[in-house]
Amino acid sequence: RIPRVQNELVKSLGGIELGKSLNTDEAAAMGGVYQAAALSKGYRVKKFIVKDA
């Protein structure tokens, strides 16, 4: 989506190709996992905000 950012990332990562596909089921599951970990007292997670697009 953002060619300049993608090119800079590839350059800084030593030429590693970026993945450009998204599995919506996995993305939703990972978001749920991070949210549950953030709400749990047993895990410390960097603060993040979930926005519904």
pLDDT tens digit sequence for 3-51: 999 999 999 999 898 888 888 999 899 889 988 998 899 988 887 776 7
CA distance 13 to 10: 5
Q: Say if CB 38 and CB 44 are below 8 A apart.
A: no
Q: Say if CB 34 and CB 48 are below 8 A apart.
A: yes
Residue-range definition of the domain harbouring residue 15:
1-53
What's this model's pTM, rounded to 2 decimal places? 0.48
Domains in the chain: how many in total?
1
pLDDT at 1 over 70: no
In this prediction, residue 22 carries a pLDDT of 82
| Residue 15, CB-side half-sphere exposure with 13 Å CA sphere | 0
Q: Say if CB 10 and CB 18 are below 8 A apart.
A: yes
In this prediction, residue 53 carries a pLDDT of 63
CA distance 33 to 39: 10
